[in-house]
Amino acid sequence: MSTDEDKPEPVVEAAPIPQRSSTNEQGLSARLRQQELLSNLGVTALRGAPLQELLDEAVRTCAEGLDAELCKVLEFLPGENRLLMRAGFGWEEGLIGVASVGADLASPSGFALHTGKPVISNHLENEKRFRTPELLLVHGVRRAINVILQGDGAPYGVLEVDSRSQGEFTELDITFLQGAANILGMAIERERRERALNSALDYHKVLLNEINHRVKNSLQLVASLINLRAATVGDPNVTDVLREASSRIGVIASAHERLTRSPDLANIELAIYLRELCEDLQEQAIDCDLEFSASEPISIPTDRAVRLALVLNELVTNACKHGRSSGGRVRVWVNIQRQNPDSVSLSVRDNGSGLPKDFHIAEARTMGMRVVGALIEQLGAQVKVLSPADGATEFLVDCPLQARNE
């Protein structure tokens, strides 16, 4: 956009330039009218109107402001070195998006585009500096005025007003037309940035999808390695341990999967996530009856949800395992509910074939329970082990929704 310092010298036909208006008063009222038109165009641009709508209004405005019959916005097509009519006023139908003029320096529009200098041709029939484009000859244009359309970056094209009547375009007309072109320049720049942002966003979506794909492939590879080891190790206890490790990978992967489908990457719906986890666990533990209930949706930061899910995985696996060794059919109830605005409670209760009587989580030796202890501590959560009925065990985890600032 031009400023006072770098304002290019207009290229105007030889003087003298007679003033269009016969009296100063008339001239003044024409300038006032031009200012009003510019300010209306500015309002449309500020309102964020779509670019085509703004260009359409601009060509009407500029024709009116310069008292001319024809106006057009020409977009530069660098590949073809031509200027294509993007918007027009006064032209017959079928030219917009179709008609074009050369963008070489010998055409007035091309000259304005490449040099950034406004060009006035008041007598096209005698024009010697430039070749008059076919489009103007055909439409009986006698005089034309061209200014460059430019945002911050490469020039967009040219704004041109044409008239079939006798008369003169003046340097004051250039000021008006350049004012309109500057407004359009800002809007064009905004659209360019929006387009660049959108394509960057699309690119990142593709990238994110690709990364997700790879993360899950890697998790699959790790799970398969563990599965294969589990099958060949020979010791049934070790096999069990490895199978559990493999299922923990599944817990993390399913959170990952939920995340990629969620519009919000930072938070996850805890009730849905844990319900799906319980469904997966049920499939793996055919001899347990697993029941899940949740009071309401609970949104929670993803990393906390994954840790809570690992806790749940351990507690349920543990309950099923202990139940199995005691022979009876195990029932496990999982419930989550919001305790208060800041915390959630997770309850895992079995029907009586659960833990040994004197169980203490802090002293638990099994790997699973040590994992639970570590996760609980990391979450800043509290865990209680209750005995609601004969022999039954209930783990009650009270977990803050957000990490506490130390």
Partner 1 sequence: MLDKKRVLIVEDDPIVALDLLRILKSAGMIVVGPAMTVRDAEKLARNNEPDAAVLDVRLEVGDTIAFARDLRAKGIPFLFQTSDPRSLDGFEPKPVVLAKPFSPDKLVAAVRNLLGIPVS
List the x/- string, 240-279, binding to partner 1 by CB under 8 A. ------xx-xx--x---x----------------------
Q: Does 196 bind partner 1 (CB under 8 A)?
A: no
Q: Does 237 bind partner 1 (CB under 8 A)?
A: no
Sequence-distant (6+) residues with CB within 8 A of 300 are 267, 268, 270, 308, 344, 401
Residue written as token pair 């030796």: 365
Give the one residue of 283, 296, 358, 363 binding partner 1; rule: CB under 8 A: 283
Give whichever of 257 and 303 is closer to partner 1, judged by the CB atom.
Answer: 257
Give whichever of 99 and 290 is closer to partner 1, judged by the CB atom.
Answer: 290
Q: Please, is 210 exposed, middle or buried when counting C-beta atoms within 10 Å of its C-beta (0-12, 13-18, 19+)?
A: exposed
C-alpha torsion 301→307→310→316, nearest 10: -80
Provide the token pair at 189.
């720049």
> Nearest to residue 148, comparing CAs of 115, 187, 196?
115
> Smallest distance from the beta carbon of 201 to partner 1, in angstroms?
17
Walk across the sheet containing 70-77 and list its strands. Answer: 100-102, 82-89, 70-77, 155-163, 143-150, 119-121
Q: Does 28 bind partner 1 (CB under 8 A)?
A: no
> Smallest distance from the beta carbon of 224 to partner 1, in angstroms?
4
Give the one residue of 205, 213, 329, 360 binding partner 1; rule: CB under 8 A: 213
Give whichever of 196 and 222 is closer to partner 1, judged by the CB atom.
Answer: 222
> Smallest distance from the beta carbon of 220 to partner 1, in angstroms?
4
Give the one residue of 2, 100, 227, 262 binding partner 1; rule: CB under 8 A: 227
Provide the token pair at 182.
């500057």
Give the one residue of 46, 197, 208, 228 binding partner 1; rule: CB under 8 A: 228
Task: For residue 97, list its beta bridge partners.
Answer: none
DSSP 91: P
- Name the site residues for partner 1 (rule: CB under 8 A): 209, 212-217, 219-225, 227-228, 231, 246-247, 249-250, 253, 257, 280, 283-284
